[in-house]
Amino acid sequence: MSDIVLKTENLTKYYGGVHALEGANFELRKGEHVAIMGDNGAGKSTFVRQITAVEQRTSGKVWFDGQEVNFAGPIAAREAGIETVFQNLALADDLDVPSNLFLGREKVLFNLGPFSILDRKFMRKATEAALVRTAVKIPNLNNTIRHMSGGQRQCVAIARTATFASKLIIMDEPTAALGVQETAQVENIIRTLKANGEPLILISHNMRQVFDLCDRIVVFRRGRIVANLRKQDTDGNDIVSYITGSKTGEAELAA
């Protein structure tokens, strides 16, 4: 039990009459990379939004880091150690890389309320360290990210999650809008995270990527978890049949 980072029990979300997510039981262990797959509207993003408390769940329980949790909002979830890379990158174009990494949690030299003096040196150093840790390549830290490529921006967003010694990283289709090289760059970062033993939930449509990067694949269909399979126990065709519904019933891990 102690090596379980995240656990949900009967996690359910209704939007009015729409049952977007029903009775999701999910577990994530330390150092594990789990992929979440499924068709559009299958409940993947809804599931993530309940964990990160962007929305409040209808019913069910969530345990994080050994404790039952009820986050009031995304900021509380983040403070507890759940970092999310959003599909619509939450970055400020006109700020440089360190400012974006520390956005909303700037390191302060003297505390003077809103006029607190920033510790720019520390934030630069921490940024460099984070970029080394995630093996992210950015040409110049002092540049605003406005003119960076999609891949570089995505890398900044991911480096941000890795900077704050997070306990769980969630990525919602991090490479959906990227080119081949940029995708490879992001995937490299994810491998680095794996090597560092940082747990990850990856939402992706890319079968190759999922088999490359993850230990386990969880398939959502019509708001329910329909499959929970170790990578070595399955293959692409198998997963596709679960996604499309030609194979039904909850496939459980062989204990």
Partner 1 sequence: MSQTTHGVGGLSYDAKKRTWPAEFNVFLALIILVGAFELIGRVFLGDSFLFNTRANVDTIFNEARLQIIILQVSIVGIIAIGVTQVIISGGIDLSSGSIVGATAMIAMSFAQVATVNGNPNPKAMFIEQGWTDLPVIVPVLVAIGCGLLAGLINGSLVAYTRIPPFIATLGMMVTARGVAKWWSKGQPISFPTESFAAIGKGLMPVIIFISLAILFQLIMTYTRYGKHCYAIGSNEDAARMSGINVQNHKILVFVIAGILASLAAVVLSSKNLTAQAGMGVMYELDAIAMAVIGGVSLSGGRGSIIGTVIGALIFGVIISGFTFLRLDAYYQEMVKGVIIIGAVVLDQWRQRLRAMRA
Shortest distance, CB of residue 181 to partner 1, whole angstroms? 11
Least gap, CB of 27 to partner 1 (angstroms): 27
Closest CA to 137 of 91, 89, 188: 188
Interacting residue with partner 1 among 139, 232, 246, 249 (CB under 8 A): 139
Least distance to partner 1, CB of residue 167, Å: 17
Give yes or no for residue 81 binding partner 1 (CB under 8 A).
no
Alpha carbon distance, N-terminus to C-terminus of the chain: 15
Closest CA to 42 of 230, 218, 254, 253: 218
CA 162 – CA 176 distance, rounded (Å): 20
Q: Which of 205, 171, 165, 163 minimizes the C-alpha distance to 190? A: 171
> What binding mask, one character per residue, do residues 167-206 give for partner 1 by CB under 8 A, x or -?
---------------------x------------------
What gap in Å lies between CA 203 and CA 57, rounded to an integer?
Answer: 19
Position among 89, 169, 214, 217 found at the interface with partner 1 (CB under 8 A): 89
Residue 6, H or E segment: strand 4-15
Sign of CA dihedral 72, 73, 74, 78: negative
Q: How far is the CB of 160 from partner 1 (least distance, A)?
A: 9
Q: Which of 2, 67, 140, 246 binds partner 1 (CB under 8 A)?
A: 140
Rounded to whole angstroms, the Cα distance separating 152 from 147 reads 10
Compute the least distance from the CB of residue 103 to partner 1, in Å. Answer: 4
Classify 98 as helix, strand or coil.
helix
Comparison of 120 and 247: residue with beta carbon closer to partner 1: 120
116 counts as binding partner 1 under rule CB under 8 A: yes
Per CB under 8 A, residues contacting partner 1 are 74-75, 78, 86, 88-95, 99, 103-106, 108, 112, 114-118, 120, 124, 128, 131-132, 135-143, 146-148, 188
